[in-house]
Structure 1
Amino acid sequence: MTAKLDSALGLYLEGIRDGHIERALDRYTGDRYIQHSTGVADGKEGFRAFFASFLARNPQREIEVVRAIEDGPYVFLHVTQTLGGSTRWVTADLFDTDENDRIVEHWDTIVQGGLTTPSGHTQTDGETRVTDLERTEENKARVAEFVAVVLQGGETGRIGEFVSADSYVQHSPHVADGIEGFTAFTAGLAAEGKALTYGKVHRLIGQGNFVVTLSEADWGGTPMAVFDIFRLENGLVVEHWDNAEPIPTAAEASNSGKF
């Protein structure tokens, strides 16, 4: 385990799951801590204030880190949380670290958990192994092109250039497997006047066969912050997870915003 991954896991598991807020902040955060999580103020004091209340409200906490991806100073975690034995959440968390591998900035999205896709998958099951490290930059470039052409450019007819026609496993709760599932979903949204259009990509990181993007999107008039997780084989996307949360207005934000 690298030191930066240890910092991300420590803040999450020691600080939030186990409730050792002060120890986790001292061990795993740097001199500054910029926060983009909805409802949490900047700085260690913001983390401390929010999670002191969170721990009091949720004395029973189960947290599992399902996926961990590293790229340069960045660490991404795909996490499930069960609070009070029944309330489920799925979170996507991106951490930036300093020269000492301590956390200095954090972005996330949080969605309801426990949902299944039309094809019977959960929001977090599927492959977790990081492989093909030698293809990291190639896979990042492929995903960047896919986002530009299909998600931002709307050229859905070209999806076969980027997504496997033989095996495309979809973990987004509203989308069935395969290219056909994706095209049916986008066509259905357009017919309802709720098209999903992607804007700026704020972060793109990758490690081997996994690539993660953090983007702005518009879903039927609602601004969204979206994490997309892609798994690739031989240059094609074969599996996809996402996590999308509405972007708060400036008046609603407790910090500098989602990005």
Structure 2
Amino acid sequence: MATARENAINLYMHGIRDGHPRAAVAKYTGARYTQHSTGVADGAEGFIAFFEAFIARNPDRDIQIIRALQDGNHVFIHAHQSLNGGESVWITTDFFDSDDEGRIIEHWDVIGAGAPANPSGRTQVDGPTEIRDLEKTEANKALVAAFIQTCLIDRDLERASDFINPDSYHQYNPDVGDGLDAFLSHFAPASTPLSYQECFLMVGEGNFVATLNRARWKHQDLCQVDLFRVDNGKIVEHWDNSEPVPPPEEWANSGKF
């Protein structure tokens, strides 16, 4: 029996990259397929209708799975998509739920445009991919949950070094360089337009922890993904992806969350 991780990857690669959405959704999804990508309707037929049109618009699809985590029935995928010879480049961050047979039954995503390297020369998908320290999964998830609540939601930035390694912190956000000081310069000022409200979903495996968060940029609601690598009890690397939440009248399903 295939794992949830394998089914999520195959839904991507067989269904979208290889152009077989109907066959993929039949093989890799379960009795229901609840969709939170707001432009896609629920169910198998919603997936098929959206991606048949997507495939027709984008005959050249280079899709690479950079990182894939599984945590119980949940899966996180970090992917890079280059369409039509680089005409458009997207970073996609997806969360999936699965049934007891590993077949996909629910999907959330955040899609952001590809950007140039950041001030430290790092792109949005650079960095380590090896999953290690499986025995530390729960401890690493607890660390990240405490960081999000303490520093991002409650904005107690004086405690940032309790969670982030101040001597080695690599950043993959397009606008922020390496180091704890760069993070604090970006997020600590009271005038920062970015705020966090809730960690909605967390998927951790070993040294990687991915989170799906409710956030806001000024008055615009965001669906925000943050991916962390933890080493020796401290966060040492961070990737993120952000997407505005459209108004409800534009949703094709029940919404981003």
TM-score range, shorter chain: over 0.9
- Classify the secondary structure of the residue corresponding to 1:251: helix
Aligned partner of 2:34 in structure 1 is 34
Aligned partner of 1:159 in structure 2 is 160
Question: In percent, how many aligned pairs have the same letter?
Answer: 49
Aligned partner of 1:21 in structure 2 is 21
Cα distance per residue 1:68-104 (max 9 Å; x no partner): 1110001110000000111100000011000111000
Q: How does 1:129-148 map to 2 (within 5 A)?
A: 129-148=130-149
1:177 aligns with 2:178: yes
Aligned partner of 1:205 in structure 2 is 203
CA distance in 2, matches of 1:242, 1:183: 16
- Classify the secondary structure of the residue corresponding to 1:182: helix
Aligned partner of 1:224 in structure 2 is 222
RMSD (Å) for aligned C-alpha atoms: 1.2
- Classify the secondary structure of the residue corresponding to 1:148: helix
Aligned partner of 1:116 in structure 2 is 117
CA distance in 1, matches of 2:116, 2:187: 20
Cα distance per residue 1:115-148 (max 9 Å; x no partner): 2211110001001000000100000000010001
CA distance in 2, matches of 1:160, 1:3: 37
Cα drift, residue 6 of structure 1: 1.3
What TM-score results when the alignment is normalised by the length of structure 2? 0.97
CA distance in 2, matches of 1:2, 1:135: 25
* 2:132 counterpart letter in structure 1: T
Cα distance per residue 1:131-172 (max 9 Å; x no partner): 000100000000010001000010111100000011100001
Cα distance per residue 1:18-61 (max 9 Å; x no partner): 00111101110001000001211111111011011100000010
CA distance in 1, matches of 2:247, 2:193: 21
Cα distance per residue 1:191-229 (max 9 Å; x no partner): 4xx421111111012111001110100112211001110
- Classify the secondary structure of the residue corresponding to 1:123: coil
Aligned partner of 2:6 in structure 1 is 6
CA distance in 2, matches of 1:148, 1:11: 33
Cα distance per residue 1:214-248 (max 9 Å; x no partner): 01001122110011100000110000000110011
- Classify the secondary structure of the residue corresponding to 1:255: coil
Aligned partner of 2:243 in structure 1 is 245
CA distance in 1, matches of 2:73, 2:185: 38
Aligned partner of 1:80 in structure 2 is 80
Aligned partner of 2:105 in structure 1 is 104
Q: Give unmatched runs, 5+ long, in structure 1.
A: none
- Say whether the 8 Å CA contact 2:207–2:230 is kept in structure 1: yes
Larger CA deviation: 179-188 vs 198-207: 179-188
- Classify the secondary structure of the residue corresponding to 1:136: helix
- Say whether the 8 Å CA contact 2:155–2:188 is kept in structure 1: no
Q: How many matched pairs?
A: 256
1:90 aligns with 2:91: yes
Cα drift, residue 2 of structure 1: 5.3
What TM-score results when the alignment is normalised by the length of structure 1? 0.96
Give the ranges of 4+ consecutive aligned residues of structure 1 lying more than 4 Å apart after TM superposition: none
